[in-house]
Amino acid sequence: MEFSLLFAVLIAVLSLYGVLWWEGKRGNAADCSKNLWDLALTATIAGIFAGRLAAMVGDGVNPLTSPGDIIIVRAGVATGPASLVALATLAVLARRELILVADGLAAATLGGLAGWHAGCLVRDACLGTASDLPWAYPLDGSTISRHPVELYAAALFLVAAVAVAWRKAYRRPPPLVPAGIALGVAGLIRLVTEPVRPALTGGPEPWYWAALVAGIAIVGFGRRRAGTASQEATEHGEIV
């Protein structure tokens, strides 16, 4: 059995850690008492495991009778269940510091997703629909060149991670805004790259739309929350 899926997970985890380490030098989540790395690693493992089990069940494979298929080379991971379990795990572990943790992990999560998509290189699963663009290339044994769609996604996620980290470090956005931006951008990137992915019946697009809409709603809520707090502080100062 090959373990390319595990190598892809390792790349994602190292990418997540790299962004956390880089941001840590700039005071990321300085007010948070939780260890962001421990929380992120636990949530990532839980999410990928749940997503893999969901994908197996969806393909008609019984995880109890075929446990080795959980880490098999071309195994898929169901995006929706993986994301929900990862977020739920993070919420349980973060508890009262959920907002600080979510904002602290916003850029790192995008970096981890960049690593996950870049992991297509070790899984030989980067290509999408046919293309004549100069950077397109064919599958082994084929003469049809294809979009390296997973590399597109990896590049976009990396740019998004740097942008969110920069905004957090130098623009000081209100609480919840970095987390909302990260969630919305993640959904948007997947929607943008979806047209050049191999056609899948009943694909996961609704999950991506949900992420985009939820991200926009969270950003709006965070800004309104900050505005209300600022107004109350101003009124309190005038009263005093």
Residue 2: which pLDDT band, with cuts at 50, 70 and 90? low
- On the question of pLDDT at 112 being above 60, the answer is yes
Only one residue has tokens 């949530």, namely: 43
Mean pLDDT of all residues in 26-53: 84
Maximum Cα–Cα distance for the chain, whole Å? Answer: 77
- Convert the pLDDT of each residue in 142-177 to its tens digit: 889 999 999 999 999 999 999 999 998 888 899 999
pLDDT of 201 reads 53
Question: Cα dist. 206→127, 188, 191, 211 in Å?
Answer: 22, 11, 9, 9
pLDDT of 56 reads 83
Question: Average pLDDT of the chain?
Answer: 86
Mean pLDDT of all residues in 6-19: 90
Q: How many CA atoms lie within 13 A of 43 on its CB side?
A: 25
Task: Give per-residue burial for 96-115: e unless 16+ CB within 10 Å, then b.
Answer: ebbbbbbbbbbbbbbbbbbb
* DSSP codes of every residue in 93-125: HHGGGHHHHHHHTHHHHHHHHHHHHHTHHHHT-
The answer to whether the beta carbons of residues 91 and 42 sit under 8 Å apart is no
How far from the centroid of its chain's Cα atoms is residue 132's Cα? 30
In this structure, what DSSP letter does residue 137 have?
E
- Convert the pLDDT of each residue in 85-111 to its tens digit: 999 999 999 988 999 999 999 999 999
pLDDT of 17 reads 93
- On the question of pLDDT at 28 being above 90, the answer is no
Of 139, 133, 134, 135, the C-alpha closest to 120 is 139
* DSSP codes of every residue in 71-83: G-TT----HHHHH
At residue 146, what are phi and psi to the nearest 5 degrees? -135, 155
- Convert the pLDDT of each residue in 114-151 to its tens digit: 999 999 998 888 999 999 999 999 988 888 999 999 99
pLDDT of 58 reads 80
- Convert the pLDDT of each residue in 167-224 to its tens digit: 988 888 999 999 999 999 999 999 999 999 886 555 678 889 999 999 999 999 999 9
Extents of the domains making up the chain: 4-239
- Give the angle subtended at the CA of 65 by the CAs of 199 and 1, to the nearest 5°: 65
In this structure, what DSSP letter does residue 173 have?
P
Task: Give per-residue burial for 195-213: e unless 16+ CB within 10 Å, then b.
Answer: ebbeeeeeeeeebbeebbe
How far from the centroid of its chain's Cα atoms is residue 92's Cα? 18
Query: Can you read off the two tokens belonging to residue 174?
Result: 């209100």
